[in-house]
Structure 1
Amino acid sequence: MSISIEQRRQHRLMTIEKSLAKRHRKENAFRRMGLLAVVTGMTLVAILFISILMRGVPAFWQATFYMDVYFDPEVVQLEPKPERESGESQFAFNERYSQWLTRAGLVNWQTLIDNALEEALGEEVEPRQLRDLRALVTSGERYALRDRFVEDPSLLGQTVELKMLASANVDVWIKGNIDRDLPDARQQLSAQTRTWADQLEEQGVIRNAFSTSLFLNTDSRSSLASAGLAGAFMGSLFMMVVVIGLSVPLGVSSAIYLEEFAPKNRLTDLIEININNLAAVPSIVFGLLGASIFIGYLRLPLSAPLVGGLVLTLMTLPTIIIATRASLRSIPPSIRQAALGIGASRVQTVFHHVLPLALPGILTGSILGVAQALGETAPLLLIGMNAFVANVPGTPLDQSTALPVQIYLWQGNELRNFFEARTSAAIIVLLGLMLSLNALAIWLRKKFETRW
């Protein structure tokens, strides 16, 4: 029996409908898989951020003593602060002032803190209990007390309410970051110190306060509670100045030449291939290169932000070059042809017409490259920036560390129940800087973006 034309048409329509339905099912399945992948990724990122925030935010508040400190003249036996006399040379005055500072440093400032603690406790502490008493306040506060008096000697004989950081172990105890039911042998504080800490907390002498020391102090090994990020922040700042000052001009200039002016031959092809390969090289390789050239051959200072900036510049250059070339390629050829058609030179065409239109992409790529460099750790470890530095660097040639390296050092500290939270707080600071740079890149792209 022959099949009619209408039946054949119906059969073809059914076949097409089945094919379309199958394609639609596959398309919907692909969309669902893509949506699932996005949701999964966002969920994992949210879990990571929430975990860091839950651990790090409490570290921005620290156990702090609010005590009345009496600057007892019997303890602080110092003559008035020297003032320059009429006719006295600057050298002679500096010598007298240095001697006065030396005598101020020999004063037993710890006694003033001990007396303030005894007054707050309302009891006299026996000599054998002094060690337990001094475990309450971090050791760096006696130097802060000295510096405060040197700045204002009129405090002698006065009683002043001062804020002092509790020791790291007391901070852990007050916040409940250690099991209070552990036996004494496994506790970080003696039973007497723990009792005093609880008593002072009940009296309101110990309160949680915002930790300015985290931002204003440098790292410390003797006074762990006062360890801060000031030195690492300045080290990272100096490095970023070097990176921005070198990688952005060099990277953008190289990309403009390769994309707009360089002849297309084997040499430029080889250069392009090597730039693409360098963008995929692990960052630790750049650290080895920097240690070999900048420190081993050029004899630049070890652990200096200048060296760190040079190493990160080498690492960032391929990223900026690739991003800039991609931005230049995105400009329609008609822009170049129109400029050349009205008599503009090649240089005028590039710098007056193409480059302004490519600026959003160039800025975005440059800022993202700098943000990536800000978070690098491995190359900095190889040039010695993991060394302990207790001072804030004044120039790019001074020894320093960096924020990611400081995080690396803190996470390995033996007092884990204190530094785990502080490490997460430092991560929040670093993430805040990186997110700020990324937000700046997005804003600049939107501001200068041209829609075709």
Structure 2
Amino acid sequence: MSESESPSAEASGLRTLDAVSASLARRRRAEQRFRWYGLVSICLGLLALVVLFASIIGKGYSAFQYTYIALDVELEAAIIDPEGTRTTEQLLGADYDALWKRSLGRLFPEVSARQERRMLSAMISGSAGESIRESVRRDPAIIGSTVRLWLPADDAVDMLNKGHVQISEAQANERLREQRGWLEKLRAEGRVEKRFNRTFFSRGDSREPETAGILGALTGSALTLLVTVGLSLPIGIAAAIYLEEFSPRNRWTDLIEVNINNLAAVPSIVFGLLGLAVFINVMGMPRSSPLVGGLVLTLMTLPVIIISGRSALKSVPPSVREAALGIGASPVQMVFHHVLPLAIPGMLTGAIIGTARALGESAPLLMIGMVAFIVDIPARITDPATVLPVQIYLWADSPERAFTERTSAAILVLLGFLIVMNGLAVYLRKRYERRW
């Protein structure tokens, strides 16, 4: 009986082995396909990221340079200081625009019609008079002499000089066609240069692209983050320590933990509505101020800091707590002398990531009025201000062509800050992280 059954058993075992081998082969092929799918997905994501960055950099890098035109300006004393007093009031009130317009007119004596003279004067920025005034204020001794000054060009001329205006468009537009010819003449005489655009980093917002800068938005962002970090960091770390180390385990703490986790997923604009209703309408705080913006961003970043802080505390082995208590340390000493120093790198990493998220937020700040057109540089947390993401939003909505490159340049600055902050978080984690 056993001899008759052995061939069938052997055949059955072979069939089972063949089935297992075929199954293993299918599983290996499926695993290989899955790996290829993942690799293709990563490549597509990286390609999209490269295209995005290339587009932003391609549009924004030129904003860090601006076109300047050299004019030999005769600083006539009869216009600047006819009384010869050299007082600050007299020097600041002079008509400096008339000086550079005369100088430009002498370079193009053939331009005589009123309309052509207007187009010629439009090649120079409206802030050229301010540049001459600043030169005279720094050195009044130059009054009465002829000085070569590099004055900023108009934004349309700047776009034309950088090649952002197509030749066909310049030929179709009468003003651009005329200015293109005059620009070629000035360039042939060595009077046109592209220089570092200091105005972009030294001035606030403006209706004119050539005088618009990001200093006001950067200052507003710094003041807003100062309030945010000053409130969210100590409150978040203290809440994480209490919830993880000292709070009793009951339904109330469970309810608090659930709400903290839910708040971390709430859309940011909801926090803006909360700030508008509570901080502005009820408490009467100044609208469009870094103080209110910092409070709103504090509410938004607190859940992130608390969750990351608790995770960092949980990563510390229980043996550290037991050893500290075993040598006679109190619970408070155990937490602050032994556990907290080991958890600080992870807590700081979460805080930096939360702050970086707050730096890039615009929706909650739009709700509290930080979308207003602010020219002055804020000096206090109660002054009207805007932030860099909102400034980008405002410029992106502007019809002028020159604001397109400034929008991309501001995005590059914002991305630079975000990369630095995330890099700092990675460095702190790698530098001080303890593995158990």
Give the stretch that moved more between structures: 147-156 or 428-437: 147-156
Residues 26 and 357 of structure 1: CA distance in aligned 2, closer, same or farther (over 3 Å): farther
Unaligned residue ranges in structure 2 (runs of 5+): none
Contact between 2:170 and 2:180, CA under 8 Å: does it hold in 1? Answer: no
Give the stretch that moved more between structures: 311-320 or 63-72: 63-72
Distance 1:190 1:27 in 2: 61
C-alpha displacement of 1:442: 0.8
> Which residue number corresponds to residue 126 of structure 2?
139
Contact between 2:199 and 2:213, CA under 8 Å: does it hold in 1? Answer: yes
Find out whether 1:175 has 2:162 as its counterpart: yes
Find out whether 1:2 has 2:5 as its counterpart: yes
Contact between 2:170 and 2:177, CA under 8 Å: does it hold in 1? Answer: no
Find out whether 1:423 has 2:427 as its counterpart: no
Q: Which amino acid aligns with 2:138?
A: E
State TM-score, norm by structure 1: 0.90
Alignment counterpart, residue 97 of structure 2, candidates 96, 99, 110: 110
Contact between 1:377 and 1:405, CA under 8 Å: does it hold in 2? Answer: yes
C-alpha displacement of 1:191: 4.2
Contact between 2:288 and 2:369, CA under 8 Å: does it hold in 1? Answer: yes
Residues 336 and 305 of structure 1: CA distance in aligned 2, closer, same or farther (over 3 Å): same
> Which residue number corresponds to residue 39 of structure 1?
43
Find out whether 1:17 has 2:21 as its counterpart: yes
> Which residue number corresponds to residue 70 of structure 2?
66
Partner SS for 2:80: coil
Find out whether 1:205 has 2:208 as its counterpart: no
Contact between 2:209 and 2:402, CA under 8 Å: does it hold in 1? Answer: no
Q: Which amino acid aligns with 2:155?
A: A
C-alpha displacement of 1:295: 1.3
> Which residue number corresponds to residue 189 of structure 1?
175
Aligned ranges 1:280-299 → 2 under 5 Å? 280-299=265-284
C-alpha displacement of 1:130: 3.2
Deviations 1:186-224 (A, max 9, x none): 638354333222321232212222211111111111x32
C-alpha displacement of 1:105: 3.6
Distance 2:46 2:283 in 1: 46
Distance 1:384 1:254 in 2: 30
Partner SS for 2:5: coil
Give the stretch that moved more between structures: 190-199 or 241-250: 190-199
C-alpha displacement of 1:360: 1.9
Contact between 1:217 and 1:229, CA under 8 Å: does it hold in 2? Answer: yes
C-alpha displacement of 1:116: 2.7
Aligned ranges 1:300-339 → 2 under 5 Å? 300-339=285-324
Distance 1:187 1:339 in 2: 80
> Which residue number corresponds to residue 81 of structure 2?
77
Partner SS for 2:17: helix
Give the stretch that moved more between structures: 287-296 or 31-40: 31-40
Partner SS for 1:301: coil
Distance 1:329 1:293 in 2: 35
Residues 350 and 21 of structure 1: CA distance in aligned 2, closer, same or farther (over 3 Å): farther
Residues 191 and 212 of structure 1: CA distance in aligned 2, closer, same or farther (over 3 Å): same
Alignment counterpart, residue 407 of structure 1, candidates 384, 392, 396: 392
Distance 1:351 1:189 in 2: 71
> Which residue number corresponds to residue 90 of structure 1?
none
Percent identity, please: 45
Distance 1:445 1:252 in 2: 17
Distance 1:35 1:243 in 2: 39
> Which residue number corresponds to residue 94 of structure 1?
none
Q: Which amino acid aligns with 1:187?
A: N
Contact between 1:316 and 1:370, CA under 8 Å: does it hold in 2? Answer: yes
Distance 2:289 2:175 in 1: 38
Deviations 1:301-341 (A, max 9, x none): 11111111111111111111111111111222222222222
Residues 318 and 189 of structure 1: CA distance in aligned 2, closer, same or farther (over 3 Å): farther
Distance 2:301 2:347 in 1: 13
Aligned ranges 1:149-168 → 2 under 5 Å? 149-168=136-155
Partner SS for 1:160: strand
Distance 2:344 2:262 in 1: 25
Residues 37 and 318 of structure 1: CA distance in aligned 2, closer, same or farther (over 3 Å): same
Deviations 1:158-180 (A, max 9, x none): 33332221111111222232233
Residues 154 and 127 of structure 1: CA distance in aligned 2, closer, same or farther (over 3 Å): farther
> Which residue number corresponds to residue 266 of structure 1?
251
Deviations 1:375-428 (A, max 9, x none): 11111111111111111111111111111111001011111x211111101100
C-alpha displacement of 1:157: 1.7
Q: Which amino acid aligns with 1:280?
A: A
Distance 1:402 1:297 in 2: 24
Aligned ranges 1:378-393 → 2 under 5 Å? 378-393=363-378
RMSD over equivalenced CA pairs, Å: 2.1
Contact between 2:125 and 2:154, CA under 8 Å: does it hold in 1? Answer: yes
Deviations 1:212-241 (A, max 9, x none): 1111111111x3212111111110011111
> Which residue number corresponds to residue 26 of structure 1?
30
Q: Segments of 4+ in structure 1 off by > 6 A?
A: none
> Which residue number corresponds to residue 213 of structure 2?
228
Deviations 1:54-98 (A, max 9, x none): 11112212211133322121221255666xxxxxxxxxxxxxxxx
Contact between 1:168 and 1:418, CA under 8 Å: does it hold in 2? Answer: yes
State TM-score, norm by structure 2: 0.93
Distance 1:259 1:35 in 2: 40
Distance 2:98 2:205 in 1: 25
C-alpha displacement of 1:182: 3.5
